[in-house]
Amino acid sequence: MITLIAGPTASGKSALALRLARETGAEIVNADSMQIYDGLRVLTAGPPPEETAQAPHHLFGVVDAAESWSVGRWQTAALETLEQISRRGRPAVVVGGTGLYFRALTHGLADVPPVPETARDEAGARFDAVGEAAFREALRTLDPQAEARIESGDRQRLVRAWAVATITGRALTDWQADTKPPIAADVWRGVILEPDRETLYARCDLRLEKMLYDGALDEVRAMEARGLDPALPALKAVGYRELAGHVRGEISLPEALAAAQMETRRYAKRQLTWFRNQTPGWRRIDAVTQNDQWGQFIARIGA
C-alpha cells in the first residue's frame, strides 16, 4: 500500500509520515520539489539525520542545485523508487507539499506534442505586454479550466497553457484528460493536512526563526558563493531570495526574516487553495498537535 500525505508547509506532514513509517515499517519518498535539491536542507525543512536514521528516506537532497528537475523527471524517479520498495515487500509513504508531484502519480502526465520555442516566446511576450489579468481573461476563452487552476503569478504555466492551446488547437486540459494514472487507484490512499490558517501561519513564522538558528543563513551563504544562475529551481526555495538579500548586504536580518515569513505564509495559503481544489476526494486532517493528527489519521484511514 502507498500512503500519500500532502498539505501546506509547516502543517506536520513529515512528523506524521515518520510516525507511520515507524509503526508500519514503511519507507518514505519525498514529494517536495525543493527538498530534492542538495545544500538547502534546513531552509527547505528537509529531514535531519535523527529522522532519516529512524526510517529509510528516498529522493531527499539527491540533486545538485545546479541541475533542474521537471515534474516528469521526479515522476520517473519516484515510480522507480516505489517499485523497489514494493519488491522489498514494504509499504511506502509519499510525503510533501508539491501538488503537481502528487497529481503526476495519481493522474499521470499528459503526452502533449512539443511546442516550438517561438510559440512560447510569443505567448510570453503577450503576457508581458498585456499583464496577467488580461492574459488570464484571454486564456479563459481557450482553456477555462487551466486558467482557473493555475495559481496567481505562475507566468510559466499560464504561458504554456496558452502556447499549447494555440499551437495544437486543443486545450492543455483536454490533453491532460487523456492521461492514465501510473499508480492504480486501489494501491494508494491519500490524506491532506489542513490545520486552521491562524495556527498554520504562526507555525510558519516560528519555523523560519528556528531555521535561522539551525543554519539556514549559512546554507544561503554557501549557495551564493557558488554563483549559480538565480533562475535555477533550487534558488526559488521559499525564503531564499530574502535571506540572500541579507547575505548580499541589501537588507538587515530582521527585514529579511520578516519578508521570508510573509512569503512563507503566502506560499502556505496557495498550497491550501491548491489541495482544496485539486484533491476533493482525499481524507482531511484538521488537528494541530502531532498526537491528535495521528489519532485522526488512524480514525479516518488506519495504519
Same domain, 193 and 71: yes
Same domain, 138 and 212: no
**CB neighbourhood size of 153 (10 A):** 10
- What's the start-to-end Cα distance of the chain, in Å? 10
Alpha carbons 79 and 31: distance in angstroms, whole number: 12
Same domain, 16 and 67: yes
Q: Pinpoint the alpha helices (H) of the chain.
A: 13-24, 49-52, 71-87, 99-106, 117-130, 132-142, 144-149, 155-168, 172-177, 197-214, 216-225, 240-247, 253-278, 290-300
User: pLDDT (tens digit, 9 = 90+) per residue, 8-22?
Assistant: 999 999 999 999 999
- Res 51: pLDDT: 95
Does 57 have pLDDT greater than 90? yes
Same domain, 133 and 65: no
Number of domains in the chain: 2
Same domain, 88 and 223: yes
Same domain, 87 and 124: no
CATH number for 126: 1.10.20.140
Same domain, 102 and 221: yes
Q: Which amino acid would we find at residue 227? A: G
Same domain, 21 and 88: yes
Same domain, 155 and 63: no
Question: Domain limits at 145?
Answer: 117-177
6 and 96 Cβ atoms separated by less than 8 Å: yes
Does 221 have pLDDT greater than 90? yes
> Containing H/E element for 283?
strand 283-285
User: pLDDT (tens digit, 9 = 90+) per residue, 102-158?
Assistant: 999 998 887 777 788 888 888 899 999 999 999 999 999 999 988 988 877 788 889
pLDDT greater at residue 200 or residue 110 = 200
CATH number for 49: 3.40.50.300
- Res 191: pLDDT: 95
Same domain, 145 and 37: no
pLDDT level of residue 223 (50, 70, 90 thresholds): very high
Same domain, 269 and 127: no
